[in-house]
A and B are shown apart, each in its own frame.
Chain A
Amino acid sequence: MSFAQTSAPADSAVELRGVHKWFGDFHALRGVDLRVAPGERIVICGPSGSGKSTLIRCINQLERHQDGEIVVNGVRAGSEPRQLNAIRREVGMVFQSFNLFPHLTVLENCVLAPVSVARQNRAEAEARAMALLERVRIPEQAHKYPGQLSGGQQQRVAIARSLCLDPKIMLFDEPTSALDPEMVKEVLETMIGLANDGMTMLVVTHEMGFARQAADRVVFMDQGQIVESAEPDAFFESPRHERTRAFLGQLMH
């Protein structure tokens, strides 16, 4: 691929510079700067409405930012369809509410994009999807519909579905928030497995156990800004900002 807009150094997977986003009058992102190295695992936390979901949704351009610059894998996010496609090909996303396609079986969910967008051979795409379903430990559900699965199983299918396109970066938008407590573990284990394989990950979550275990860096956001960014140990043991301390205090209780 040759894109003229390779303005970012190749050693960053995602780079945000002075990103602003408004929803009408609401200023959701107020000049966010963030650099993510390839293979880096970042957990983003913060109170609701702090802009953390908006931030990762801007990375694959589900939300368009209005000011600043976002560069993903060397491609600058802009209005051109080619830029958009190039970014979405490299970035997978997992949603809070799974968003599986209910009219398709698990396997059909997984091969939809590889076959229709990436023009892969169907048999090969299915073999690859089965291997990934194996990896998230639900190959036996391949021919069921999403509605027949538990929430935890659905979320693992959603992870497998994203991986089918071989993304270089994975975004997780509160992947365990809609799950019953007993299902959180199976999804987090899948994510930890992914992290151990060296995937670049940006995870919006309140699962601080996951942050301690799998993150290279924890980013705390409040009111549309990154307040604090530190390695997990430093972040949890000695937060520097008062707002971070208040937030962590609330999480502990």
Chain B
Amino acid sequence: MTDASRMIAPVRRPSWLPTGLIRLVDTPLNATLTLLVAAVLVWAVPPLARWAVFDAAVLPATPETCRAAAGACWSFVIAKHSQILFGIYPLDERWRPALVCLGLLALLAWSVRPSAWRPRLGVIWLVMLLAIQILMGGGVLGLTPVPTAEWGGLPVTLILTVVAIGGGFPLAVLLALGRRSDLPAIRTLCTVFVEATRALPLLSILFIASIMLPLMVPEALLPDKLMRALIALLLFAAAYMAEVIRGGLQAVPKGQYEAAAALGLGYWRTQRLVVLPQAIAISIPALTNTIIVMIKNTSLVLVVGLFDLISSGKAALADPAWSSPAIETYVFISAIYFVLCFGFGRFAEAMERRNKASRP
């Protein structure tokens, strides 16, 4: 015992340097890299700080403040935040999309806790979607009707993200199971759907949904443009997530199916209680990647004329009174995307930690 502890005694180091810092200079390579990084920081940080903070125009939020300042024009973002966030939604009614955004974000934050995962969570989300439709669309309860063509900005991005991914995920699970089904018809159907969807760029799927479909089918028979884009995104997300989940399914050993069968579990119980929890846990890193890409993909709806966050930002920039502070606007929008994607990344990380608890 004493021999062993002597053998693994810590490496000697100067006591005046903390362990973290000594790694910065302990070899010639590390010392060179440290100097290089320090040089880049000295070169880049001061001008950036001057632009973003010290020389920046903030208040009062008027074009004059910006013209007088040498740095970033945050006044524009402050003055136009409502238009960037809510697009061309009628001015007097903007409390409605604001409420929708807050509600969605609050419910998202509430839903990520494992203790909330009960069947009633699904019911709560359905009620939420209905409430969104009523609040955004109006026409009932004395709310002024607002057609989806006037919806825009953050609520559109959030709705697209939540519905495409939240609705795409169960569909993806079914597609993944379907591709491994014993029934040839189901297997072929799922395989063809996944392969066809993956073979097309998202842009062309959105064009088909919003421009070509109305040419072939009378517009009165079709759901509106937002709904069509939503379905297109949902199907696209489902096809990609299905392949990731299928990979997880393949990693579940055959013995798990046999043990479930020997216990008398049928197909669906085996999948739901035994196979899918393991397959999805295995797929989390790849699934996170796919989902984060899908969050950002929602911005592509701007090419079919829907006002998501980026298009409403662009629209706000068109005001001739301001000198088009595009960088500042995009920094603001990027920050929102970053919060969404980073937040999801953290959630996925927590899930991985939770699963590791059962695998020492």
Contacts and interface: CB of A to CB of B under 8 A. Distances in A.
Interface of A: 60, 62, 81, 85, 88-89, 91-93, 95, 97, 99-105, 112-113, 116-118, 145, 147-148, 158, 161-162, 165
B358 A116 contact: no
Contact of A62 (B262, B278, B360): B262
A117 B359 contact: no
A116 to B, nearest CB: 6
Nearest to B278: A103
A157 B71 CA distance: 68
A145 B359 CA distance: 8
B224 interface: no
Contacts of A60: 262
- Considering residues B255, B259, B269, which has the most beta carbons from chain A within 10 angstroms of its beta carbon? B259
A88 B261 contact: yes
Given A89-B264, A112-B273, A147-B360, A103 B281 contact: yes
B309 to A, nearest CB: 38
B143 to A, nearest CB: 45
A101 B259 contact: yes
B262 A92 contact: yes
B359 A95 contact: no
A113 B263 contact: yes
B349 interface: no
Given A112-B273, A116-B269, A148-B360, A102 B278 contact: yes
Q: Which 4 A-B pairs have the closest CB atoms?
A: A99-B259, A113-B263, A99-B255, A93-B262
Interface of B: 253, 255-256, 258-266, 269, 273-274, 277-278, 281, 355, 357-360
Given A88-B264, A113-B265, 18 more contacts: A62-B261, A62-B262, A85-B264, A88-B262, A91-B262, A99-B253, A100-B259, A101-B260, A103-B281, A105-B358, A113-B263, A116-B269, A116-B273, A117-B266, A117-B269, A145-B358, A145-B359, A147-B360
B355 A103 contact: yes
- Considering residues A102, A118, A148, which has the most beta carbons from chain B within 10 angstroms of its beta carbon? A102
- Considering residues B261, B265, B269, B358, which has the most beta carbons from chain A within 10 angstroms of its beta carbon? B358
Contacts of B263: 88, 112-113, 117, 161-162, 165
Contacts of B274: 101, 112
B281 to A, nearest CB: 7
B321 to A, nearest CB: 59
Contacts of A103: 277-278, 281, 355, 358
Contacts of A104: 358
B272 to A, nearest CB: 9
B256 A101 contact: yes
Contact of B359 (A116, A147, A165): A147
A124 B327 CA distance: 64
Contacts of A162: 262-263
Contacts of B255: 95, 97, 99
A99 B265 contact: no
